[in-house]
A = this chain, B = another copy of it.
Amino acid sequence: MAENRQWVLQRRPEGEITGGELRFTSSAIPKAQPGEIVVRNEWLSVDPTNRIWMSEKESYLPALPLGSPMRGFVIGKVTQSAAGTFKVGDSVMGVGSWSDYSCGPATNFFASFDVPGVSNKDLLGYYYHIAPTSYFGLREIGQPKIGETLVVSTAGGAVGSIVVQLGKLWGCKVVGIAGGREKCDWITRELGADAAIDYKSEDLGARLSALCPEGIDVYFDNVGGNQLAAALDRMNLYGRVVLCGSVSSYATEGKDRTPYNFLPMVIKRIRMEGFVVLDYLHRYGEALKAIGVLQKTGKLKWRFEDFDDLADAEKAMVGMYAGKNRGKVMVRVGGA
Protein backbone atom coordinates (compact mmCIF):
# COMPACT_ATOMS: atom_id res chain seq x y z
CA MET A 1 0.00 0.00 0.00
CA ALA A 2 1.60 3.20 -1.13
CA GLU A 3 -1.19 5.30 0.17
CA ASN A 4 -1.70 6.70 3.67
CA ARG A 5 -5.36 7.26 4.39
CA GLN A 6 -6.00 9.65 7.24
CA TRP A 7 -8.59 11.62 9.15
CA VAL A 8 -7.61 15.28 9.31
CA LEU A 9 -8.97 17.83 11.80
CA GLN A 10 -11.00 20.08 9.53
CA ARG A 11 -12.80 22.29 12.01
CA ARG A 12 -13.07 22.64 15.80
CA PRO A 13 -16.17 20.97 17.19
CA GLU A 14 -18.99 23.20 18.35
CA GLY A 15 -21.45 21.52 20.65
CA GLU A 16 -22.07 17.83 20.10
CA ILE A 17 -19.85 15.85 17.77
CA THR A 18 -22.04 14.85 14.85
CA GLY A 19 -19.45 14.26 12.16
CA GLY A 20 -17.87 16.71 9.77
CA GLU A 21 -15.19 17.89 12.18
CA LEU A 22 -12.81 15.47 10.48
CA ARG A 23 -12.13 14.92 6.80
CA PHE A 24 -11.07 11.55 5.36
CA THR A 25 -8.26 11.99 2.88
CA SER A 26 -5.07 10.35 1.75
CA SER A 27 -1.50 11.27 0.99
CA ALA A 28 1.86 9.63 0.55
CA ILE A 29 3.26 7.60 3.40
CA PRO A 30 5.20 10.06 5.54
CA LYS A 31 8.96 9.89 5.92
CA ALA A 32 10.46 9.84 9.41
CA GLN A 33 12.50 12.96 10.20
CA PRO A 34 15.35 12.81 12.71
CA GLY A 35 14.00 11.65 16.07
CA GLU A 36 10.79 10.34 14.51
CA ILE A 37 9.38 6.95 13.70
CA VAL A 38 6.66 5.77 11.33
CA VAL A 39 4.24 3.16 12.67
CA ARG A 40 1.91 0.98 10.61
CA ASN A 41 -1.20 1.24 12.74
CA GLU A 42 -2.96 -2.00 13.53
CA TRP A 43 -5.65 -0.74 15.90
CA LEU A 44 -6.92 2.73 16.72
CA SER A 45 -8.58 3.43 20.07
CA VAL A 46 -11.52 5.87 20.10
CA ASP A 47 -11.93 7.58 23.50
CA PRO A 48 -13.96 10.33 25.16
CA THR A 49 -10.75 12.32 25.61
CA ASN A 50 -10.53 12.72 21.81
CA ARG A 51 -13.04 15.55 22.08
CA ILE A 52 -10.67 17.47 24.37
CA TRP A 53 -7.87 17.14 21.84
CA MET A 54 -10.01 18.59 19.05
CA SER A 55 -10.55 21.78 20.99
CA GLU A 56 -8.65 24.98 20.39
CA LYS A 57 -7.28 25.18 23.89
CA GLU A 58 -4.25 23.40 25.17
CA SER A 59 -5.32 20.81 27.73
CA TYR A 60 -3.13 18.12 29.25
CA LEU A 61 -1.67 17.77 25.74
CA PRO A 62 -1.01 20.62 23.29
CA ALA A 63 -3.91 21.68 21.07
CA LEU A 64 -3.91 20.04 17.65
CA PRO A 65 -3.45 22.49 14.73
CA LEU A 66 -6.25 22.52 12.16
CA GLY A 67 -5.27 20.44 9.14
CA SER A 68 -3.28 17.95 11.24
CA PRO A 69 -4.04 14.25 11.29
CA MET A 70 -6.39 13.58 14.20
CA ARG A 71 -4.56 12.43 17.33
CA GLY A 72 -5.32 8.98 18.72
CA PHE A 73 -3.99 6.10 20.77
CA VAL A 74 -2.64 3.41 18.42
CA ILE A 75 -0.80 0.10 18.40
CA GLY A 76 1.28 -1.20 15.48
CA LYS A 77 4.72 -1.99 14.11
CA VAL A 78 7.57 0.37 13.30
CA THR A 79 8.16 0.63 9.53
CA GLN A 80 10.74 3.44 9.55
CA SER A 81 12.96 4.70 12.34
CA ALA A 82 15.09 7.82 12.49
CA ALA A 83 15.44 7.46 16.27
CA GLY A 84 17.84 5.28 18.21
CA THR A 85 15.18 3.95 20.54
CA PHE A 86 13.26 1.80 18.03
CA LYS A 87 14.10 -0.34 15.03
CA VAL A 88 11.94 -1.45 12.12
CA GLY A 89 9.62 -4.26 13.15
CA ASP A 90 9.32 -3.26 16.80
CA SER A 91 5.82 -3.46 18.28
CA VAL A 92 4.88 -0.11 19.77
CA MET A 93 1.92 1.74 21.16
CA GLY A 94 1.46 5.38 21.89
CA VAL A 95 -0.02 8.67 20.84
CA GLY A 96 -0.26 8.44 17.04
CA SER A 97 -2.86 9.48 14.52
CA TRP A 98 -6.08 8.35 12.86
CA SER A 99 -4.32 7.06 9.77
CA ASP A 100 -2.80 4.00 8.18
CA TYR A 101 0.61 5.20 9.25
CA SER A 102 1.36 7.31 12.30
CA CYS A 103 4.45 9.49 12.04
CA GLY A 104 5.81 11.37 15.02
CA PRO A 105 8.52 11.77 17.64
CA ALA A 106 9.73 8.43 18.98
CA THR A 107 9.07 9.81 22.47
CA ASN A 108 5.32 9.61 21.76
CA PHE A 109 5.60 5.82 21.65
CA PHE A 110 6.84 2.99 23.78
CA ALA A 111 7.42 -0.70 23.29
CA SER A 112 4.19 -2.67 23.58
CA PHE A 113 3.80 -4.16 27.03
CA ASP A 114 5.02 -7.66 27.38
CA VAL A 115 1.88 -9.37 28.64
CA PRO A 116 2.11 -12.95 27.32
CA GLY A 117 -0.99 -14.30 25.68
CA VAL A 118 -2.76 -10.95 25.48
CA SER A 119 -3.91 -9.71 22.06
CA ASN A 120 -2.89 -6.38 20.62
CA LYS A 121 -6.52 -5.30 20.79
CA ASP A 122 -6.63 -6.02 24.53
CA LEU A 123 -3.28 -4.32 24.99
CA LEU A 124 -4.32 -1.11 23.28
CA GLY A 125 -7.98 -1.22 24.30
CA TYR A 126 -7.66 -1.90 28.02
CA TYR A 127 -4.07 -2.36 29.18
CA TYR A 128 -2.63 0.78 27.65
CA HIS A 129 -4.74 3.50 29.23
CA ILE A 130 -8.22 2.32 30.30
CA ALA A 131 -7.20 -0.18 32.97
CA PRO A 132 -4.41 2.00 34.45
CA THR A 133 -6.84 4.95 34.51
CA SER A 134 -9.37 2.87 36.42
CA TYR A 135 -6.75 1.33 38.69
CA PHE A 136 -4.82 4.44 39.70
CA GLY A 137 -7.85 6.74 39.71
CA LEU A 138 -9.78 4.49 42.07
CA ARG A 139 -6.84 3.37 44.17
CA GLU A 140 -4.86 6.60 44.56
CA ILE A 141 -7.54 9.28 44.40
CA GLY A 142 -10.60 7.32 45.53
CA GLN A 143 -8.79 5.32 48.21
CA PRO A 144 -11.70 2.94 48.80
CA LYS A 145 -11.85 0.93 52.00
CA ILE A 146 -13.53 -2.42 52.57
CA GLY A 147 -17.21 -1.96 53.25
CA GLU A 148 -17.44 1.54 51.78
CA THR A 149 -19.97 2.60 49.16
CA LEU A 150 -18.61 3.45 45.71
CA VAL A 151 -20.70 5.13 43.02
CA VAL A 152 -19.40 5.07 39.44
CA SER A 153 -20.68 7.17 36.56
CA THR A 154 -20.54 5.94 32.92
CA ALA A 155 -20.36 2.53 34.55
CA GLY A 156 -21.18 0.89 31.21
CA GLY A 157 -18.18 2.55 29.55
CA ALA A 158 -14.63 1.28 29.35
CA VAL A 159 -13.13 3.03 32.41
CA GLY A 160 -16.34 2.82 34.42
CA SER A 161 -16.80 -0.91 33.87
CA ILE A 162 -13.29 -1.64 35.15
CA VAL A 163 -13.82 0.66 38.15
CA VAL A 164 -17.03 -1.21 39.02
CA GLN A 165 -15.19 -4.53 39.04
CA LEU A 166 -12.14 -3.25 40.93
CA GLY A 167 -14.49 -1.71 43.49
CA LYS A 168 -16.13 -5.09 44.07
CA LEU A 169 -12.76 -6.89 44.21
CA TRP A 170 -11.56 -4.35 46.76
CA GLY A 171 -14.54 -4.94 49.03
CA CYS A 172 -16.92 -2.06 48.30
CA LYS A 173 -20.62 -1.86 47.75
CA VAL A 174 -20.83 -0.57 44.16
CA VAL A 175 -23.60 1.36 42.45
CA GLY A 176 -23.15 2.10 38.74
CA ILE A 177 -24.81 4.89 36.75
CA ALA A 178 -25.30 4.25 33.03
CA GLY A 179 -27.56 5.23 30.16
CA GLY A 180 -30.06 2.56 29.19
CA ARG A 181 -31.37 -0.76 30.47
CA GLU A 182 -28.93 -2.95 28.55
CA LYS A 183 -25.89 -1.27 30.10
CA CYS A 184 -27.45 -1.38 33.57
CA ASP A 185 -28.18 -5.10 33.22
CA TRP A 186 -24.65 -5.77 32.04
CA ILE A 187 -23.20 -3.92 35.01
CA THR A 188 -25.21 -5.81 37.61
CA ARG A 189 -25.45 -9.26 36.00
CA GLU A 190 -22.02 -9.55 34.40
CA LEU A 191 -19.79 -7.15 36.31
CA GLY A 192 -21.21 -7.74 39.75
CA ALA A 193 -22.37 -4.22 40.67
CA ASP A 194 -24.78 -4.24 43.60
CA ALA A 195 -27.15 -1.92 41.76
CA ALA A 196 -27.38 0.23 38.66
CA ILE A 197 -29.21 3.44 37.87
CA ASP A 198 -30.40 4.27 34.37
CA TYR A 199 -29.98 8.04 34.39
CA LYS A 200 -31.99 8.33 31.17
CA SER A 201 -35.18 6.90 32.64
CA GLU A 202 -34.80 7.25 36.41
CA ASP A 203 -34.58 10.16 38.88
CA LEU A 204 -30.88 10.04 39.67
CA GLY A 205 -31.00 11.84 43.01
CA ALA A 206 -33.94 9.84 44.35
CA ARG A 207 -32.41 6.56 43.22
CA LEU A 208 -29.02 7.41 44.75
CA SER A 209 -30.73 8.20 48.04
CA ALA A 210 -32.68 4.95 47.92
CA LEU A 211 -29.76 2.75 46.92
CA CYS A 212 -27.19 4.40 49.21
CA PRO A 213 -29.06 5.09 52.45
CA GLU A 214 -25.66 4.93 54.20
CA GLY A 215 -24.29 7.71 51.93
CA ILE A 216 -21.50 7.67 49.35
CA ASP A 217 -17.86 7.30 50.37
CA VAL A 218 -16.24 7.37 46.93
CA TYR A 219 -17.66 8.83 43.74
CA PHE A 220 -15.79 8.05 40.55
CA ASP A 221 -16.84 10.68 38.05
CA ASN A 222 -16.49 10.61 34.30
CA VAL A 223 -19.40 12.93 33.59
CA GLY A 224 -19.44 16.15 35.61
CA GLY A 225 -22.55 18.31 35.51
CA ASN A 226 -25.73 17.24 37.26
CA GLN A 227 -24.55 13.71 37.95
CA LEU A 228 -21.57 15.07 39.86
CA ALA A 229 -23.78 17.49 41.81
CA ALA A 230 -26.25 14.72 42.71
CA ALA A 231 -23.44 12.52 44.02
CA LEU A 232 -21.73 15.37 45.90
CA ASP A 233 -24.97 16.11 47.73
CA ARG A 234 -24.92 12.57 49.15
CA MET A 235 -21.27 12.20 50.12
CA ASN A 236 -20.28 10.99 53.56
CA LEU A 237 -17.82 12.59 55.96
CA TYR A 238 -14.32 12.34 54.47
CA GLY A 239 -15.76 11.27 51.10
CA ARG A 240 -13.52 11.26 48.03
CA VAL A 241 -14.48 12.33 44.52
CA VAL A 242 -12.32 11.19 41.61
CA LEU A 243 -12.66 13.65 38.74
CA CYS A 244 -11.54 11.41 35.90
CA GLY A 245 -13.52 12.95 33.07
CA SER A 246 -16.34 15.32 32.39
CA VAL A 247 -18.06 14.14 29.21
CA SER A 248 -21.12 16.28 29.94
CA SER A 249 -18.85 19.31 29.55
CA TYR A 250 -16.88 18.32 26.48
CA ALA A 251 -19.49 19.49 24.02
CA THR A 252 -19.66 22.92 25.60
CA GLU A 253 -15.99 23.17 26.56
CA GLY A 254 -16.83 24.30 30.02
CA LYS A 255 -19.36 26.95 29.07
CA ASP A 256 -22.11 24.98 30.78
CA ARG A 257 -21.81 25.38 34.49
CA THR A 258 -23.51 23.25 37.09
CA PRO A 259 -24.88 25.14 40.09
CA TYR A 260 -23.17 23.83 43.17
CA ASN A 261 -22.68 24.97 46.73
CA PHE A 262 -19.43 24.03 48.39
CA LEU A 263 -20.43 24.43 52.03
CA PRO A 264 -21.20 20.70 52.45
CA MET A 265 -17.67 19.97 51.20
CA VAL A 266 -16.24 22.05 54.06
CA ILE A 267 -18.45 20.55 56.73
CA LYS A 268 -17.97 16.98 55.52
CA ARG A 269 -14.26 17.43 54.67
CA ILE A 270 -14.77 16.11 51.19
CA ARG A 271 -11.80 15.80 48.88
CA MET A 272 -12.37 16.22 45.14
CA GLU A 273 -9.41 15.76 42.85
CA GLY A 274 -8.78 15.83 39.14
CA PHE A 275 -6.92 12.89 37.69
CA VAL A 276 -5.05 12.16 34.44
CA VAL A 277 -3.35 8.78 34.10
CA LEU A 278 -0.25 10.28 32.46
CA ASP A 279 0.89 11.23 35.97
CA TYR A 280 1.28 7.53 36.82
CA LEU A 281 3.38 6.36 33.87
CA HIS A 282 6.25 5.56 36.25
CA ARG A 283 3.99 3.09 38.09
CA TYR A 284 2.37 1.47 35.05
CA GLY A 285 4.04 -1.86 35.76
CA GLU A 286 2.11 -2.19 39.00
CA ALA A 287 -1.26 -1.66 37.31
CA LEU A 288 -0.46 -3.92 34.35
CA LYS A 289 0.57 -6.75 36.60
CA ALA A 290 -2.57 -6.47 38.70
CA ILE A 291 -4.85 -6.16 35.68
CA GLY A 292 -3.08 -9.02 33.88
CA VAL A 293 -3.57 -11.42 36.76
CA LEU A 294 -7.23 -10.46 37.13
CA GLN A 295 -8.03 -10.69 33.44
CA LYS A 296 -6.31 -14.02 32.90
CA THR A 297 -8.00 -15.60 35.88
CA GLY A 298 -11.39 -14.45 34.62
CA LYS A 299 -11.96 -11.97 37.46
CA LEU A 300 -12.07 -8.95 35.18
CA LYS A 301 -14.37 -8.81 32.18
CA TRP A 302 -14.51 -6.33 29.36
CA ARG A 303 -16.11 -5.95 25.99
CA PHE A 304 -15.40 -4.16 22.74
CA GLU A 305 -17.38 -2.43 20.05
CA ASP A 306 -15.28 -3.00 16.93
CA PHE A 307 -15.31 -1.04 13.71
CA ASP A 308 -13.67 -2.82 10.84
CA ASP A 309 -11.97 -0.14 8.83
CA LEU A 310 -10.26 3.20 9.26
CA ALA A 311 -13.05 4.69 7.12
CA ASP A 312 -15.46 3.88 10.00
CA ALA A 313 -13.51 5.87 12.60
CA GLU A 314 -15.72 8.94 12.49
CA LYS A 315 -18.87 6.84 12.75
CA ALA A 316 -17.31 5.08 15.76
CA MET A 317 -16.62 8.43 17.42
CA VAL A 318 -20.09 9.86 16.79
CA GLY A 319 -21.68 6.72 18.22
CA MET A 320 -19.45 6.84 21.28
CA TYR A 321 -20.44 10.41 22.22
CA ALA A 322 -24.08 9.48 21.62
CA GLY A 323 -23.70 6.62 24.10
CA LYS A 324 -24.62 4.05 21.45
CA ASN A 325 -21.63 1.75 21.64
CA ARG A 326 -21.40 -1.18 24.03
CA GLY A 327 -17.86 -1.52 25.22
CA LYS A 328 -14.51 -0.02 24.38
CA VAL A 329 -14.61 1.46 20.87
CA MET A 330 -11.87 0.14 18.61
CA VAL A 331 -11.12 0.62 14.93
CA ARG A 332 -9.19 -2.02 13.02
CA VAL A 333 -6.76 -0.22 10.76
CA GLY A 334 -4.57 -2.82 9.09
CA GLY A 335 -2.89 -6.14 9.75
CA ALA A 336 0.46 -5.74 11.47
Which residues in B have their C-beta under 8 angstroms from that of A263? 224, 246, 249-250, 253-254
Q: How far is the CA of A266 from the CA of B245 in the complex (A)?
A: 6
A238-266 CB mask vs B (1 if < 8 Å, else 0) is 00000111100110111111111111111
Are the C-beta atoms of A262 and B276 separated by less than 8 Å? Answer: no
Q: Nearest chain-B residue to A249 (Cβ)? A: B263
The segment from A31-39, A154-162, A165-173, A267-275 found at the interface with B is A267-275
Nearest CB of chain B from residue A97's CB, rounded to whole Å: 21
Q: Please give the count of copies of this chain that the complex contains.
A: 2
User: Which residues of B sit under 8 angstroms from A52, Cβ to Cβ?
Assistant: 267
With both beta carbons as reference points, the residue of chain B lying nearest to A247 in the complex is identified as: B263
**B residues less than 8 Å from A271 (CB atoms):** 271-274
* Pick from B244, B260, B267: contact of A60, CB under 8 Å: B267
A contact residues, total (Cβ < 8 Å): 38
Q: B258 to A243, Cβ gap below 8 A?
A: no
Chain A positions 216 through 235: 1 when the CB is less than 8 Å from some CB of chain B, otherwise 0: 00000100100010000000
B259 and A257 contact, CB distance less than 8 A: yes
CA distance A315 to B275 in the complex (A): 46
Q: Are B259 and A259 in contact (CB under 8 A)?
A: yes
Instruction: Check if A261 sits within 8 Å of B256, measured CB to CB.
Output: yes
A residues sitting closer than 8 Å to B (CB atoms) are 52, 59-60, 221, 224, 228, 243-246, 249-250, 252-276, 279
Give 10 pairs: A residue, B residue, CB < 8 Å, sorted on A.
A224-B263, A244-B266, A257-B259, A258-B262, A259-B260, A265-B272, A266-B275, A266-B276, A271-B271, A271-B272
